[in-house]
Structure 1
Amino acid sequence: MLNSQRIFVEAISKYGAEHGIAVEIRAAGWLIVMQRGGTRHLAFGYDLGLNSAVAHRIANDKSATADVLTMSGVPCVPHALFLDPELNAYVPTQGSWQAMLTLLSQNPAGIAVKPNEGTSGKSVFLVSSAPGLELAVNRIFASHASLAISPYLEIEEEVRVVLLDDIPLLVYSKKRPSVIGDGKRSLLELALATLPADQRSAVLPEMFAELDRNALDAVVPEGARRVLNWRHNLESGARPLLLEHGEARDACVALAVRAAQAIGIRFASIDIVRVEGGWQVLEINSGVMTEALSKLHPELVHAAYRAALDKVFA
């Protein structure tokens, strides 16, 4: 999808037409200039400019976010920061490798190794061995200056809360693609038979990258459920599902508000995960990306961006 075709660009263009605001799309849709009279506002990526520079930088840094939330008493998934050895002037004298191995040994279920900055679940690795850790670290440092390591958690549910000045605009869960066994077909056969066509390009490459041939060919017992991706990322095939009003939604919104207040962010999407029955913050995104949800509920997405733009032009 071209940047200029994003729902974010469409929503801003529509808002401009309705409110007498000139909208100019630059940099292939990545930079948007909004002008009304002598007032000009800029949007970049998925950022409307409502957040301070510090809040934006902290939200974009997984380790910094976890540090601030922990200091503020907000339950969150810990993320340990490691810098590329090329930045040797800033790396501890004892280096980082032993500390990484220690984290691996402390988490027998595995660790998640990911770029410290960035979204969409790109270059995120589930690691359970020293060779796997070395491979993940080398791949990430090939294109990123830092990485973060968090414990692998058996996430029961992941919920995204889009907040604007502590008011929830969108609340939805991310449902990972899965299959139910029939005692006859393999995991791969079930995936090919049941995955909708529009999900295959996102789900199948992840399956082939993460599972060996034996796992793909193994027959799934009748009635057994198998998730096809350990990640909850929408870009990896998870489906957004609006969360009904109730105890779970209230808990997620309350925790998201605490997290937003802790780092001083106004407009953000906050990912909350349920682990062993308790909720904790996974990460905060200062750019509000809603492409997957917009395919199912475009009117809600337009309303969310409209509310944020009202704040921009207030």
Structure 2
Amino acid sequence: MINHPHRQRAAVTRYCKERRIALDVREDGWLLVLGNGRERHLIFGYDLGLNSAVAHRIACDKAATSALLAASGVPAVPHALFLAPTVTGVSAPAWTTMLELIETHPTGLVVKPNEGTSGRAVTRVRTSAELKDALTQIFETGASAAIAPLLEIADEVRVIMLDGAPLIVYRKLRPVVTGDGLHSLRDLALQAVPVEQQSRLLRRLAVEFDASTLQAIIPQGEQRLLSWRHNLEFGAQPVLLTEGPLRETCTALARDAARAVDIRYASVDVVMADGQWQVLEINSGVKMEALGEYAPELVEEATFAALDAIFGCRPSGSTAGPPDIPQ
């Protein structure tokens, strides 16, 4: 399961063994109890426990994050908050206000759970009917939704930050196929992945495209994206960024965002849209399970650095700060 912190748990286990810290694994690995004789520390899910409760709650709330960043002068994608009727106590959502957003953004909107992660239940809408359907689905199981303008995102970069320093910086490249004039989008997509990954790919494609689009023949030389999302869970590939202008720009923006939220350990997603880099979201729970499929050593080193910040210890013979992450 990509949602389960298997790699994080493995990294924490190795860390505790090397640092001689006691580890008690509970709730199938979702709750970890660490102790070194002087102090006790809890890890729950993907929250390593470095951030304050307020910073964690703000980062988990897309609308609150965008509002705070805007007030702090940090470029960010705006997210409007809407509460479910079960929260407000009224019989129906504020449809009038929501539908006005369609008129304001005729190119479309993105509807998502206000506190969701990994791109799940994130929907593009362009009509009032689509907007109502997307919101109804979210409100059936969630307390709130966030609505953002649909942007033409040219690039997306994730920066994993610890106390203002970047641990890992990588681009998210969406999967693409090139037509040959003979095969359909579905066939070209299946040809691009190993057999053992095809069933998972077909499930993703069914969410992204209708049947006619999947069966259409792609003309020779034309390219098609297999997902409009930049999430690794939806097939995007991570490309580590070395030192350079792009990395510096994205890191500086991520640092400003982390400072505005007063968060210590987080992953910050920044996007190039409308001709400028801006923050899409901040994640207090740093999920690196999908990244670990490509660079497990980086996931472990980043986890070690975060845990060192918690326990104030360093590898034997070291007096430096958090370990450098090779690019």
**Matching residue of 1:247:** 245
* 36-45 vs 263-272, greater mean Cα deviation: 36-45
Q: Distance in 1 between matches of 2:309 and 2:185?
A: 48
Which one is further off, 133-142 or 103-112?
A: 103-112
Instruction: Indicate the residue corresponding to 1:22 in structure 2.
Output: 22
Across the aligned residues of Structure 1 and Structure 2, the Cα RMSD in angstroms comes to 1.8
Match of 1:281 in 2: 279
Give the SS at the match of 2:97.
Answer: helix
Q: Percent identity?
A: 52
- On the 8 A contact 1:202/1:235 being kept in 2, the answer is no
Q: Measured at CA, do residues 199 and 175 of structure 1 come closer, stay the same or move farther in structure 2, by a change above 3 Å?
A: farther
- Alpha carbons of structure 1 residues 259 and 2: separation in structure 2 relative to 1, 3 Å: closer
Report the Cα offset of residue 248 of structure 1: 0.9
Which amino acid is the alignment partner of residue 285 of structure 2? G
Distance 1:4 1:59 in 2: 20
Q: Any conservation in 2 of the 1:32–1:43 contact (CA below 8 Å)?
A: yes
Report the CA distance between 1:276 and its aligned residue.
Answer: 3.8
Distance 1:310 1:244 in 2: 24
| Runs of 5+ unmatched residues, structure 2 | 313-327
The residue aligned with 2:288 is 290
Partner of 1:76: 76
Counterpart in the other structure of 2:325: none
Matched residue, 2:316: none
- Quick check: 1:202–1:237 contact (8 Å CA) kept in 2? no
Task: After superposing the two structures, state which structure 1 stretch, 50-59 or 153-162, moved more.
Answer: 153-162
Partner of 1:175: 173
Q: Once structures 1 and 2 are overlaid, which stretch shifts more, 242-251 or 20-29?
A: 242-251
Do the aligned residues in 1 keep the contact of 2:83 with 2:93 (CA within 8 Å)? no
Amino acid aligned to 1:282: L
Give the TM-score of the pair, scaled to structure 1. Answer: 0.95
Deviation at 1:94, TM superposition (A): 10
Q: Deviations over 1:226-268 (max 9, x none)?
A: 1011111111111211112211111100000000000000000
1:205 is matched with which residue?
203
TM-score normalized with structure 2 length: 0.91
| Deviation per residue, 1:38-96 (Å, 9 max, x gap) | 3100001111111000000000000000000000011111100000012235x7x9951
Kindly state the Cα deviation for residue 3 of structure 1 after the two structures are TM-superposed: 7.3
In structure 1, what is the equivalent of residue 56 of structure 2?
56
CA distance in 1, matches of 2:153, 2:79: 16
1:35 is displaced (CA, Å) by 0.9
Correspondence for 1:42: 42
The letter of the residue matching 1:308 is A
Q: CA deviation at 1:107?
A: 1.6
Aligned residue runs from structure 1 range 255-270, under 5 A: 255-270=253-268
Cα displacement string for residues 250-297 of structure 1 (whole angstroms, at most 9, x for unaligned residues): 110000000000000000000011114421100000011111221221
Residue 97 of structure 2 corresponds to 99
Aligned length: 312
Runs of 4+ in 1 over 4 A off after TM superposition: 2-5
Equivalent residues of 2:158, 2:267 under 8 A apart: yes
Q: Which runs of 5+ in 1 are unaligned?
A: none
Do the aligned partners of 1:240 and 1:292 also contact (CA within 8 Å) in 2? no
Equivalent residue number for residue 269 of structure 2: 271
Q: 1:104-136: CA deviations, max 9, x gaps?
A: 122222111000002111111111111111111
Q: Does the CA contact (< 8 Å) of 2:5 and 2:30 recur in 1? A: no
1:285-313 Cα distance to aligned partner (Å, 9 max, x none):
00111112212211111111111111100
Range with bigger deviation, 68-77 or 292-301: 292-301
Letter in 1 for 2:15: Y
